[in-house]
Structures are given as C-alpha cells and as structure tokens.
Amino acid sequence: MKTGFFLIIVMMTFSLLINAQNNESTKITVTKMVYIKGGNYLPLFKKNGSTEKEQIKPFYLDIHAVTNKQFLQFVKSNPEWSRSNVKKIFAEQSYLKDWQSDFNPGGKVNPTAPVTYVSWFAAKAYSKWVDKRLPTLAELEFVAMADENSPGPNHSKSYNEKLIRWYLKELPVKLPNVKSTYKNYRGVYDMFGLIREWTFDFNTANINGTAICGGGSAGATDLKNYPAFLRYGFNSCLSGNSALDNLGFRCAKDVK
Amino acid sequence: MKKILNLKIFSVVILLSTAALISIVAIQGCHQTEKREGTEFANLTYAPEVPSPILRDHPSKVIVNLETKQVVGRLADGVQYPFWTFGGKVPGKFIRIRVGDKVEFHLHNSPTSTMPHNIDMHAVTGPGGGAPASETLPGHSSVFSFKAERAGLFIYHCATQPVPLHIANGMYGLILVEPKDGLDPVDKEFYVMQSEFYTKDDYGTPGLQQFSMDKALAENPTYVVFNGSVGALTNENALQAKVGDKVRIFVGNIGPNKISSFHIIGEIFDKVYDYGGKNVTQENVQTVLIPAGGAAIVEFTVKVPGTYLLVDHSIFRAFNKGALGMLKVSGKPNKEIFSGKQKDEIFTETQAELNSGAIESDNSVSIPNDDQPSEINENDINAVIQKGKQVFSRTCIACHQITGKGIAGVFPPLAGSDFLNADKERAIGIVLHGKKGTLTVNGKTFNNIMPPQNLSDGEVAAVLTYVYNSFGNSKKVVKSEEVKKVRNK
C-alpha cells in the first residue's frame, strides 16, 4: 500500500516535471499588442497622382519589436529556420549573423534587444507561428506618424531633427532592450531610434515606378519629410531575403 | 597599235590605283572609333593627391573599386561630424581614366552602413548617371559598366533618397576623363573640392554635430570648406610648390547649394577650362565661377615665393566659414616681379591734399623733384632761404604744417618755438636723427615720434635757415659745415 502510494507520488512528480519541461520548450512569449483605431493617412508617394488620403482600418500592433529571446523560441520549434538550415533564397548569407550558433544567441547579443539580421521570409514565418502577421507599409507609417504626444502628421521642427539625428547616428555595438527609446501617442514603443522594421508590402515603396533607388522626389507629398524619404529609400532597395544589422520586425493582427 | 594599247592599259592602271588610294584614305578618315585594348585597375587617390596621368594611347577596360562608408570625423578643431563617405574620407577618391575607356564599376557598401548608397557620375551617359544601377544595401556590392564617352572633369555623388542629405553628409568626389592626347605636362597637379556643411550649432561649436534641415533649406551653410574640413589645406597641410612650377588644380564644387567664386590670392590663372570642359576657354583669369555640381581646371605658373591663399571670394565664407586653403611656394625671390615692402613713411592729410593739388603752398612754390640737385651759394642767404622753403614744403609741412604751427597736442610748432630758438645744434641733431619722447614747446608738452630726415647737409642747412628766418623765429643761419659736424658726432 505504502509502496503504491509512493510510486503514484513519484509518477505524478515525474509527469509534472516532464510537463513543466514541455511547457518550457513550447511556452511562447507573445508580445502585448495595442489596438490602433485607424484613420486617414497621406502616403509619402501618391498612388496614381491622387491626393486622396488612404483609409487605415483598425488593427492590433505589437508594442515592441520581436526580441532575440522570442525569435530563439521560434527557431527551436522550427529548426528549418536555424542559421545552418535555412535556404539561401529565404535568407541571405548574413542571416542571424550575430548569433553565436544556430540555437544560441550567445553573450554578445542582448536577449531582450530586437532580433536583427532576419529576412522578410523569416519575419513572415515567425508572425504566422504566433498567429499574427506583418504590418503593412501604410499601417506602420500611420503609427509612425505619431510622436510622444500627438497623432501627427504635423510635428515640431525638433521632432523631425531628432529623427534625422537618429538616422545619422552610428549603430551601437550591442543593441539596447526593446522599449528603451520612447512610447508614442499610440502606445507603441521604439517606432524610431532603435531599428528599421519589415513590412508585409515593403516593395510597394517603389509605388509610382519612380526610381526611388535613384533618388526621385517627384510626386512626393511632403518634401521636407526626410526621415520618410530615408525609410522609403531603404525599403525600395530591400529584397525578401535581405538580412541587415539594423533591420528587424514586429507583428500586427487583424481585428476580427 | 601596241603603243596605243600600252597607253590605255597604263591609264587604266593609274586610274584604278588612284581610286584605290582615295578610298583607303576616305575609309581611314571615317574610322573614328579607337580599338580598346587591355584591362587595368584604376589607381584612386585621396585629396589633394591626383593619380598620375594616363600614359597609354588607346582606351582600355578599367576596373574601379569604391567603398561607401559612414564615418565620424573631424570637421574643424574640436568639431566632429557624422560623415557619409566614398572611401572613408571627404571628399571621395579621385578617379582618373581616358576617353573611350570601358569602366567596370564595383560599388561596395560597408556592412557597417545603416542605409543603402549608390553613385551618380556626371561622366556617365545613362539613366541616373549610374545611380539606379549601383544602388547597394549595406554589406553588399553592385557592379555596372559604362563607356567614358566624353573627356572632361566631372563630379560624382551619391543619389540615394533623400539625395540632398546624402550629398550634404559628404558623399562626392571627382572623376577626370582625359582626352585622347592627354593634358599638357605640368609640374604639380592637385585635387580641391569645395563643399558646405549644415549644422544645428554655430560654426566652431565643439562636439559631435547634427545636420540642420532648416539651414540646408535656407541655403545658409555653417561651414564652407575645401577638402572636407576647416584647415584641410592650411599650414602643415598646405599644397606645396617651387618657384617656376607649372601648377594645375582640378577644382570641384558640389554645393550642395552654393556657387563658388574660386580665387587664389596673389595668383592669376594663366589657363582656365571653364566648367571642367575639354578646352581652355580663357586666359589670365582672377576668379572662376564653379556651379554647384560642377568643376573647373585652372593652370598657372608660380613665380614668386610665399603663401598663396585659396578662397571662395564670397569672402565671408573664406573668413568666417572655413573656405580657406594655402599653396606654399618656396624658392628664390623675384624682386623684378614683386619687391615686397620697400618703404614705410609718415603720412597725414595735409600731405595728401598737397599731393592732390587741393591746397597750394605759400607763394605757389611747386614741390621740387627728389632728384633735382640744387647747388647754391651758401653766402646768398636769400637763395638758401628759397631752397630751404622748397625743402620745408616737401618734407616738413606734413607734420609742422605750412604755417609752422604744428597740430595742437600732436606735432609741436616751429613758429616762435622757444625750444627751437634756444639751441641751434640741438635742432640740427633732431632733423638728422629724429626725436622720440616728450618735449615742451612754449609751455605745451608733446610726446610723439619724428623720423630722421633723409636730407643732405646743404638741405638741412637750408631748411633750418628758412625756419629760423620765418614764422617769427630768431633769424639764425645754419651752414652745411655745422650740419656735417653734428652728423659726424
């Protein structure tokens, strides 16, 4: 009787332990999201020469970018996305370049900093794995329009200058934590000052076919918005498998 | 019969050969395109160095490698700027090729860059000057090819969105396409690029600067510099040449906003290739206009040693914003062309008026020439006094005035002067050797400097005799031997 009781306890503890272990490996740290009400927004480059504002439907957006720690969980559960296994067409040579090994970011990488050196394909796969999606260019630009205190699009001179300053800064050797810059009016962190972010339709930045890569400003709606030009210029040069050291992502989700 | 046949054959042969000759010459004339031979790597240099002239007499394939890199560097003493560069420095490296060359251009973007870069070369005929074909992400390289269709000196710059910002941060340089027969040989060639920087803080504020959008839009630069920073071409960084050197400067102006009025103080440009075009367009030019996004070639021979200042003659930029460089020329002086300062004399308003004829001296005596010797009989007092008056009008009235009254508080009077009348020998000494320090005349103190007078013994004697016999003075007489005696003391 006593042995039986003892055995049951041992088995229960054992199964608990096993469960705990399983939970540990399948536990996904999902980023908190905020509800974005949506509204009107004038894109930097007009579609077909129209000056009509675009309508942004309500959606949810991650309050911060996906971290190294979070991405590691994804790679562990989906080893085809580890550095040695990933196909070159999905992620170029520099994919997860700063990680120590396939399943270990290592001491030089800050686990709660945004993951970088990830391609669009990898970002898309992650977002699907957490049952989300990538935000569109319009959605991200719409949220990016806001500064700390107002929804935008008009900002103080100092705000625009602050943005340009960030683009001119050198990258820090070790990226700081997510949420370490500022929270904007929409409740979203680090829209600028940390990393560039993937969007679902990044290659529509070349909207009119104007050679943005070649420097065209024709058809731009706000010629003074140099930070926007920098983003559009950057986006229009990317490929799906690009993996760069200041490019990461965050996820969005439809409102059901 | 045979003779006639021979003649016919002969004439036909002549006709055919002439025709052949003419067609060969014609074809040669039409044959413009040179044949391209060989492959070489372009040797690029940092300013102010220029790669050596192209020696080959045919076009080739030339491979150019250039890296774009974002680098924090010195803008002025204590002042840093986050530059974007071609090759790690501002301005970017100088590229030298020959007309007809086929360039295979490799643009590398450092993995440390935070954004894509590209290159638009004004020497390229094709969309964007090569920009869309060379757009490159950080950690990548692009390759494209172009044929150098035209000889000239051309700007290159980055043309990635937003273009003005990429230019304003330092992404520009020069590419020289030599004409078929090259440029005339010179002793020295230099590379100078003028550009502006727009910073939030004022000129000279120490620390890492930020780009100022406001100032850039208002076209009000904080810094206007040669070769990327204040002092890049001054003092120990000055350009060097020797007397007799023929100097050629490849000058670019990228702006991004301002036109340059390029001038070298103390030099004249013997030859100018306006706009960096193929031909010499003007000779003997003082100041060359260089448009933003343009260039010029200037040539001159240095003849006199010294330091020659390179400036943008919109002169506040040279003085207050950094548009100042130096060319130091060493060697033997050439007094024939330039003497340097020869004399320093006292000058007052009265002398100016006399010189201009605005006022006339007493008795309308004209001022005599310096080289008019006047030998007179010293026993003829009137002649002496007349001569003395001439010397006085020429030499003394500047300070002591034509009335001999001097200027109150400044120059002592000679008229009725107790100081003068008290001591003749002292007066001679003062005319000969000058006087410094205080003296009292008629109860008033003076403290000024009288320079020694460059007069002969006879002139000193004459002028003093005149002064003593005028203005109510003691009517003393001074002889040249007395002057000689004081002089030799």
E strand residue ranges, chain A: 33-36, 39-41, 54-56, 59-62, 196-197, 247-248, 252-254
Contact B290, B174 (CB under 8 A): no
> Are B212 and A171 within 8 A, CB to CB?
no
Across the interface, of B82, B111, B169, the residue whose CB is closest to A245 is B111
Q: pLDDT digit string (tens) for A6-60?
A: 777 767 766 665 555 444 445 678 999 999 998 888 777 765 556 678 889 999 9
Q: pLDDT digit string (tens) for B428-441?
A: 999 999 998 899 99
Q: What is the CATH number of the domain that holds A106?
A: 3.90.1580.10
Q: pLDDT digit string (tens) for B1-55?
A: 566 778 888 888 888 888 777 777 666 554 467 899 999 999 999 999 999 999 9
Contact B190, B246 (CB under 8 A): no
Is residue A5 in a domain? no
- Chain B partners of A219 at a C-beta cutoff of 8 Å? none
Q: Is the pLDDT of residue A170 over 70?
A: no
Q: Which residues contact B186 (CB under 8 A, 6 or more apart)?
A: B245, B246, B247, B248, B299
Higher pLDDT, A54 or B249: B249
pLDDT mean across residues, chain B: 91
Q: pLDDT digit string (tens) for B453-484?
A: 888 899 999 999 999 999 999 999 999 999 99
Q: From the CB of residue A146, how many other CB atoms can be counted at a distance below 10 Å?
A: 19
- Which range (A165-174, A175-184, B134-143) has the least confidence? A165-174
Is residue A102 in a domain? yes
- Domains in chain B (CATH in brackets) are 39-330 (2.60.40.420), 349-487 (1.10.760.10)
Q: Is the pLDDT of residue B392 over 70?
A: yes
E strand residue ranges, B260-334: 260-265, 269-273, 282-285, 287-290, 294-301, 306-312, 324-330
User: Does the model's pTM come out above 0.80?
Assistant: no
Is residue A7 in a domain? no
Is residue A111 in a domain? yes
Across the interface, of B132, B165, B210, the residue whose CB is closest to A214 is B132
Strand partners, B299: B248, B271
Contact B143, B184 (CB under 8 A): no
pLDDT (0 to 100) of residue B56: 94
Contact A228, A99 (CB under 8 A): no
Across the interface, of B120, B210, B213, the residue whose CB is closest to A226 is B213
pLDDT (0 to 100) of residue A48: 57
Is residue A88 in a domain? yes
Q: pLDDT digit string (tens) for B214-246?
A: 899 999 999 999 999 999 999 999 999 999 999
* Residue B332 Cα, gap to closest chain A Cα (Å): 50
Helices of type H across B137-251: 163-168, 213-217
Higher pLDDT, A47 or B126: B126
In terms of residue numbers, what domain contains A237? 32-254
DSSP A102: T
- Domain tally, chain A: 1
**What CA–CA distance (Å, rounded) separates B25 from B28?**
5
Helix (H, G, I), strand (E, B) or coil at B283: strand
Number of inter-chain CB pairs under 8 A, A vs B: 98
- Which range (A190-194, B327-331, B349-353) has the least confidence? B349-353
pLDDT (0 to 100) of residue B375: 61
Tokens of A43: 């894109």
pLDDT (0 to 100) of residue A209: 47
Is residue A199 in a domain? yes
Contact B404, B421 (CB under 8 A): no
Give the mean model confidence (pLDDT) for residues B110-114.
Answer: 90
Give the dihedral sign, CA A239/A242/A246/A247: positive
The number of CA neighbours under 13 Å toward the Cβ of A20 is 6
> Are A244 and B82 within 8 A, CB to CB?
no
The CA–CA distances, whole Å, from A165 to B79, B165, B199, B467 equal 16, 12, 11, 78
Is residue A19 in a domain? no
- Chain A partners of B137 at a C-beta cutoff of 8 Å? 237-238, 242, 244
Q: Is the pLDDT of residue A208 over 80?
A: no
> Are A214 and B127 within 8 A, CB to CB?
yes
Q: Is the pLDDT of residue B447 over 80?
A: yes
Question: What was the ipTM of the complex prediction?
Answer: 0.75
**What CA–CA distance (Å, rounded) separates B260 from B4?**
79
Q: What percent of chain B has pLDDT over 70?
A: 92
Higher pLDDT, A11 or A181: A181
- Chain A partners of B120 at a C-beta cutoff of 8 Å? 214-215
Is residue A250 in a domain? yes
* Residue A253 Cα, gap to closest chain B Cα (Å): 28
E strand residue ranges, A185-240: 196-197
* Residue B110 Cα, gap to closest chain A Cα (Å): 11
pLDDT (0 to 100) of residue B367: 43
